[in-house]
Amino acid sequence: MGRQLDILIDESGDFGAYQAHSPYYLVGMLFHDGRNDIGQAAQLLDTQVRNLGFEPHAIHTGPIIRREGNYLNRTVNERKRLLNALIHFSRRIDVQYVVLCVDKRECKDIIDLIARISRLIRVFLDRHDTFFQSFDGITVYYDNGQIELTRILTSTLSVLLPNVSFHRVRSSEHKLFQLVDMYCSLELTALKFKTCTASSSELDMFHNSRAFNKDYLKKIRKKFME
Q: What local confidence, expressed as pLDDT, does residue 145 receive?
A: 80
The string over 177-191, giving b where at least 16 C-beta atoms fall within 10 Å of a residue's C-beta and e elsewhere, is bbbbbbbbbbbbbbb
The rounded distance, in Å, linking the Cα atoms of 219 and 213 is 8
Sheet holding 164-168, edge to edge: 95-103, 24-33, 4-12, 137-142, 164-168
| CA–CA distances in Å: residue 107 to residues 111, 116, 145 | 8, 8, 22
Q: What local confidence, expressed as pLDDT, does residue 161 receive?
A: 92
Band (18; pLDDT cuts 50, 70, 90):
confident
Instruction: Give the CATH class of 4-223.
Output: alpha beta
Beta-carbon contacts of 8 under 8 Å, excluding residues fewer than 6 positions away, are: 29, 30, 32, 141, 142, 169, 174, 176, 177, 179, 180
Average pLDDT of the residues in 45-54: 95
**Cβ contacts of 102-105, under 8 Å, gap ≥ 24:** 102/24, 102/25, 102/26, 103/23, 103/24, 104/13, 104/17, 104/18, 104/22, 104/23, 104/24, 104/25, 105/18, 105/23
Render pLDDT for 133-162 as a digit per residue (tens, 0 to 9).
999 999 999 987 888 999 999 999 999 998
Band (171; pLDDT cuts 50, 70, 90):
low
Q: What local confidence, expressed as pLDDT, does residue 120 receive?
A: 97
Q: Where are the domains of the chain?
A: 4-223
- Given a cut of 80, whether residue 75 has pLDDT beyond it is yes
Render pLDDT for 112-121 as a digit per residue (tens, 0 to 9).
999 999 999 9
Average pLDDT of the residues in 84-103: 97
The one-letter amino acid code at 62 reads G
- Given a cut of 70, whether residue 172 has pLDDT beyond it is no
- Given a cut of 90, whether residue 181 has pLDDT beyond it is yes
- Given a cut of 70, whether residue 1 has pLDDT beyond it is no
